[in-house]
Structure 1
């Protein structure tokens, strides 16, 4: 081997270890450029929740609602913590994250969720609703988010009071983001009290009665396979699968529910 060939071989050997390092830097730079993607990829997320990303589209949903790392964000009824696993790392360093959890059986469960990973969730501000809701200063919140909860409000008759609380805590110009199971507009409205599905027009009416302006909708969480007419309502489908093994493969093939993704804004007066 001549001297020139030996030099070329040496330079190649020196360059090879740098390639993985360069890839790491590129990945880090990409996450810095897209903090929502970085939060979705957070190592603190549990595998069973990550597995549901294809149905819940957290990155696209949060981007549609305009969530940024420096905002003050309220998640209403985080329950098992699915979205909190994304919002907590997203807002940890530069924002504020309130978990507004209704008093009841899910409150203790959410406390356990936070305690299970105190390093990741040390800055989450847990607020019991409605008892402690006033601890969130009026007009201080950039974004209120609620995922698959409005149907519970409608079934309990608490939707007007809850949406008013959202309105009061938001800044003028602040955003309310809603995701819920979608009932076709031509169905009997009585189904909204039992099926877990709601019409888009119903949520728009509730929000606008509370003072919100409608901004728009995204189809990111749509599922055309869901016909919204199941034996046990939305809970027939995964992840609940209320029918157990009856037609399980059929429901797994359909996937999670068809969902509306609606954005509202508190007017600037």
Structure 2
């Protein structure tokens, strides 16, 4: 596994830590879970999953929302990390399900069944998403950019980000992992290239009341020219991806 750096914001200072020395045993155990399908395991190297999960800092007993969870790659990992005292809500917007129904089909194939008994699937319109309880973590991977697009109904992002803030307990965490667009391009390429400028994500979430708590470069790729879509063979699986951690004050 490559070395990567986690930038942790503490009292206004940034500390660089070698992440390979910071991977908790619970993360290692979750990745090694024998119930994970082969197609998930095949993605682990490109996703640098140990570094990413260490940065997320999911703990036993946590309540976690996997927002726009795809086929459940991270949902399964979160389920093992939070354990029997925790809960994982796989929250799929109805608009996303209409565009990509295979994700929900996959989720319903394992959610609520051993060993993923603590997973519940929620299907809701994006503009009226709600949870049965306050949670410790809202996670969204490679999909925040989609919230800006017509197929999702182009929701009011200010309202949506406030909904995400309200879903968290005080001190709770929101993590956004997404494909980076070129600096200064804003949301111009969310629909065609499936990329978003990290500066826009920071600004939107700060306006909603979140505090930026840290960044990880585990998935950064300085060789990505930011001009190709995520499925282009030249960058597929190796796009420049940012990970931002926000906290509810």
**Shorter chain as normaliser: what TM range?**
0.7 to 0.9
Name the SS of the counterpart of 1:236 in structure 2.
coil
Question: How far, CA to CA, are the matches of 1:266 and 1:116 in structure 2?
Answer: 31
1:265 CA displacement: 0.6
Matched, 1:257 2:239: yes
Runs of 4+ in structure 1 off by over 6 angstroms are none
1:88 corresponds to 2:108: no
**TM-score w.r.t. structure 2 length?**
0.78
Do 2:63 and 2:136's aligned partners in 1 also have CA atoms closer than 8 Å? yes
Q: Aligned residue for 2:42? A: 51
Q: Which of 125, 130, 142 lines up with 1:130 in the alignment?
A: 125
1:171 aligns with 2:153: no
Give secondary structure in 1 for the equivalent of 2:189.
helix
Separation in structure 2 between the aligned mates of residue 84 and residue 189 of structure 1, nearest angstrom = 27
Deviation at 1:186, TM superposition (A): 4.2
User: Partners in 2 of 1:224 and 1:255 — Cα distance?
Assistant: 14
CA RMSD of aligned residues (A): 2.3
2:231 maps to 1:235 = yes
Larger radius of gyration between Structure 1 and Structure 2: 1
- 1:121 matched to 2:116? The reply is yes
Q: Number of aligned residue pairs: give it.
A: 217
Q: How does 1:114-263 map to 2 (within 5 A)?
A: 114-116=108-110, 118-130=113-125, 133-137=129-133, 140-156=134-150, 157-158=154-155, 159-187=157-185, 190-230=188-228, 233-237=229-233, 251=234, 255-263=237-245
Q: Considering fraction of residues, name the structure with more strand.
A: 2
Structure 1 spans left out of the alignment, 5+ residues: 1-32, 238-250
Deviation per CA, 1:217-242: give whole Å up to 9, x if none. 11011122321112xx22214xxxxx
Distance between the aligned counterparts of 2:75 and 2:41, measured in 1? Answer: 12
What secondary structure does 2:172 align onto? strand
CA shift in 2, pair 1:234/1:123, >3 Å: same
